Amino acid sequence: MSEPKTVVCPYCGFGCRLLVDPTTMRVKPYQGEPNRGKLCPKGLHATEFVLSGDRLKRPLKREGSKIRPISWGQAIEEIEGKLLEIRELYGPDAVAFIASSKVSNEENYLLQKIARLFGTNNIDNCARLCHEASVHALKMTLGAGAQTNPYEDLEGFNAILIWGYNPAETHPVVMDYILKARRKGAKIIVVDVRETRTMAFADYKLIIRPGTDIALANAVMNVIILDELYDEEFIKTRTAGFSKVRMAVRKYTPEYAEKVTGIPAETIREVARTFALAGSGAIMWGMGLTQHVSGVENVLAIIDLALLLGYIGEKGGLYPMRGQNNVQGAAYMGALSEFLPGYVPLTDERFRKRVAKIWGVEDLPTERGLYLTELWEAIEKGDVKALYIVGENPAVSEADFLGVRNALRKLDLLVVQDIFMTRTARYAHYILPASAFCEKEGSYMNSERRIQWSHKVCEPGGDSKPDWEILTMLGRALGLPGFDYSSVEEITAEYFRLFPSLEERSIEELKNGDGIFLPRKRLHTWEFSTPDGKARFIAVEQVQPWERPDYEYPFILTTIRLISHYNTGEMTLRSPSLVRLMGEPRVLINRSDAERLGIHDGDWVEIETRRGKIRMRAKLGGIPSGVVAVPFHFKANKITSPALNKAGTPELKFSACRVRKLERG
């Protein structure tokens, strides 16, 4: 029997660690932090997709409608040649890179290094579709764009407000922390547009009209201010801008908010008082807030609420729960088009020059690159000619994906580096087979900013290579300085140099312990990361969704996640144990709406928006009249709204639609 290896779960951003037996590939939960002996079914069966017969085994090249294998050497040489040619003809910004929230810190670090040394900030990752609005709002108010406290703090708070977030399905293991707090007497408040699984554990269940969250947050603050339940000392010593919020929320009386949100005024009062009088509290949120045109404002509103009560640092925490296993790491490594590593703005000359020096060049490009969600129009316009995608499936995950697929067809060069022949890879000129998570070494960062090492368990499948090796070959072929890495640890050591708090830490420590928090376990305990150390209140008003229901399209369509399906399904659908657990995704429809439309449970229905239609079976109940919810995993984005918010995230949680019963599927 060989020793089991500790590996980071390849699915969600909670960041469980798995103990994998190299002989049997069986998984057991790691007993230490953060998962404390727990795993959800995805983690437990995480090695199955690695062993799938469907894995990409060798580099492929598409010629017309034919796809044929080619050697690694030839693939890299041809890709390098085309990239240089396109740069020569159209400049570096005609090339764009999409990084992956699924690959390690080292791999994301390398890809953004390639992009920037190549001469462009066109580097982004799926954070753009996800929590980028939270990053922007947190940077504007607190000066640091990440979760403030570790999971362990959740157990000690007296109230937990869960907003537009359904952890019982999306981060099952964090429920353990939440339920522990509840057993100690913490009040759990859940705000969602429908009855979620998470609500089963709530003391207060607030069903809100989609897209009206600011009205609710402002009304809660209105009550707290009127009742003088706010933390005056905290506001005076640690914040600026309170008077503007006080003014702005004046008109958001509970009665006014009831009309906008549908939540009874008395409930709003009770919840506001309960949350304020708890004395300590966390706010956890997810896609229900960020995936709106008002995404940034939605998050600003709940940050204002936390500031009002002093629930940041000691007495509370802000938990924008990150989606993918390494979305936090991808961001910290600089795989974002508006930030250098560590969320440092491109315009910060001192830091930029320091990074450039470490990379062996004078300076780096300073103009913001294209957001992932802006790429498709840029391709249509002919501004972007080549796209290099690592571990991302935009042909399914982007809003209004028919437009994305058209854009993919127009590229002069599309490279997809993945572990499977994804929907996106079908459009690629070159497809490069990457090794999966447990076939390689590297570090990952979870939602609480804990960097954890993931050990290699088995040899790479087929002729695949770890992403960092492929990127090292590419960087070297492009003639970029410093691409002579012969081990992943050399890349780890290089990124450690960029962060002052990591300078004293060692890779050995990272490999053997329970990880390292970047920059530290709790943020903002004494002062905020703003220039003057004070947090900013920023007043916000209710913002209308981009598309509104009308006579033609009377329903609101939102999109949701299911526990045993994961994002675009490439991994979960190749895991036989998970496939056995999976139910068929169904559209949720209110019972009285269904009755009016003659729809019974299990009937086939058509959901149509201005962008197209999809078919799905119906599941009745658990959702208010006028709203329908579709699991997003496979086809929802054929019809979702393309409108972007200030952080570049599409309004995936709000479109106008109509629903009709079909005689058959």
Strands 27-29 and 17-20: antiparallel
Alpha helices in 334-435 (DSSP H): 349-358, 375-380, 394-397, 401-410
Q: Which two tokens stand for residue 487?
A: 């081990």
Interface size with Mo ion, residues (CB under 5 A)? 2
Reference 134, options 142, 126, 123, 145; nearest CA is 145
Closest CA to 211 of 138, 262, 142: 262
Of 53, 77, 78, 58, the closest CA to residue 69 belongs to: 58
Binding residue for ligand MGD (CB under 6 A) from 213, 603, 608, 651?
213
Piece of the chain touching ligand SF4 by CB under 6 A; list 9-17, 56-64, 540-548, 643-651 = 9-17
Query: Which partner in ligand SF4, ligand MGD, Mo ion, none is near 642 (CB below 5 to 8 A by kind)?
Result: none
For residue 662, how many C-alpha atoms fall within 13 Å in the half-sphere facing its CB? 16
Q: Which is nearer to ligand MGD, 434 or 587 (CB)?
A: 434
Contacts to ligand MGD from residues 624-663, by CB under 6 A: 629, 632, 636-637, 640, 652-653
- Decide: 338 and 646 in contact? Cβ < 8 Å: no
Site string for ligand MGD, 37-76 (x = CB under 6 A): ----------------------------------------
- Considering beta carbons, is residue 337 or 559 the nearer one to ligand MGD? 559
Q: How many CB atoms are located within 10 Å of the residue 182 CB?
A: 17
Residue 495 interacts with which of ligand MGD, ligand SF4, Mo ion, none, CB < 5 to 8 Å by class: none
Rounded to whole angstroms, how far apart are CA atoms 460 and 574?
Answer: 17
Judged by CB under 6 A, which of 4, 7, 12, 603 binds ligand SF4? 12
Which one of residues 34, 320, 323, 394 is an interface residue with Mo ion (CB under 5 A)? 323
Q: Is 15 in the site for ligand SF4 (CB under 6 A)?
A: yes
Q: Which is nearer to ligand SF4, 39 or 404 (CB)?
A: 39
Secondary structure class of 292 (helix, strand, coil): coil
C-alpha span between 427 and 175 (Å, rounded): 39
Cα separation values, 182 from 179, 204, 269, 309, Å: 5, 12, 21, 20
In whole angstroms, give the CA distance from residue 376 to residue 398. 10
Rounded Cα distance, 218 and 245, in Å: 9
3-state secondary structure of 187: strand
Q: Rank residues 169 and 314 by Cβ distance to ligand MGD and give the closer one.
A: 169
Question: Of residues 4, 7, 30, 42, which one binds ligand SF4 by CB under 6 A?
Answer: 42
Q: Which of 20, 40, 563, 614 binds ligand SF4 (CB under 6 A)?
A: 40
**Residue 608 Cα to chain centre, angstroms:** 27
- Nearest distance from C-beta of residue 11 to ligand SF4, angstroms: 3
In the set 44, 207, 335, 434, which binds ligand MGD (CB under 6 A)? 434
# chain residues binding ligand MGD, by CB under 6 A: 63
CA atoms of 376 and 122, how far apart (whole Å): 13
Compare residues 299 and 510 and give the one whose CB is closer to ligand MGD: 299
Binding mask 176-205 for ligand MGD (x = CB under 6 A): ---------------xxxx-x---------
Question: How crowded is the C-beta side of 191, counted as CA atoms within 13 Å?
Answer: 32
Interface characters, 151-190, with ligand SF4 (x: CB under 6 A): --------------------xxx-----------------
Q: Which of ligand MGD, Mo ion, ligand SF4, none does residue 193 bind (CB under 5 to 8 Å by kind)? A: ligand MGD
Minimum CB–partner distance for residue 602 and ligand SF4 (Å): 29
Residue among 93 and 213 whose Cβ is closer to ligand MGD:
213
Structure tokens at 176: 């353990």
Residues of span 458-517 touching ligand MGD by CB under 6 A: 467
Rounded distance between C-alpha atoms, residue 553 and residue 355, angstroms:
51
| Rounded distance between C-alpha atoms, residue 343 and residue 337, angstroms | 10
Please compute, for residue 512, the number of CA atoms within 13 A of its CA located in the half-sphere on the CB side. Answer: 5
Computed on alpha carbons and rounded to an integer, the radius of gyration of the chain in Å comes to: 24
Residue nearest to ligand SF4 (CB): 43
| Smallest separation, CB 285 to ligand MGD (Å) | 8
Rounded alpha-carbon distances, angstroms, from residue 515 to 9, 43, 350 = 14, 19, 29
- Residue closer to ligand SF4 (CB basis): 572 or 655: 572
Position 103 contacts ligand MGD (CB under 6 A): yes
Going by C-alpha positions, the residue among 277, 261, 247 that lies closest to residue 163 is 261
Q: Parallel, antiparallel, or unpaired for β 204-207 and 450-454?
A: unpaired
Question: Is 130 a binder of Mo ion (CB under 5 A)?
Answer: yes
User: Using the rule CB under 6 A, which residue among 9, 16, 110, 129 binds ligand MGD?
Assistant: 129
Output phi, psi for 605, to 5 deg. Answer: -130, 160
Stretch that binds ligand MGD, among 175-183, 308-316, 368-376, 434-442 (CB under 6 A): 434-442
Q: What tokens appear for 234 in the block?
A: 């905290």
Cα–Cα distances (Å) from 399 to 227, 495, 504, 615, in that order, read 43, 33, 43, 17
Name which of 218 and 649 has its Cβ closer to Mo ion.
649
| Chain residues in the site for ligand SF4 (CB under 6 A) | 9, 11-12, 14-16, 35, 39-40, 42-43, 171-173
| Chain residues in the site for ligand MGD (CB under 6 A) | 10, 12, 100, 102-103, 126, 129-130, 163-166, 169-171, 191-194, 196, 208, 210-211, 213, 286-288, 291, 323-324, 390-394, 397, 417-420, 422, 434, 436-437, 467, 558-561, 563, 565-568, 570-571, 629, 632, 636-637, 640, 652-653
| Chain residues in the site for Mo ion (CB under 5 A) | 130, 323
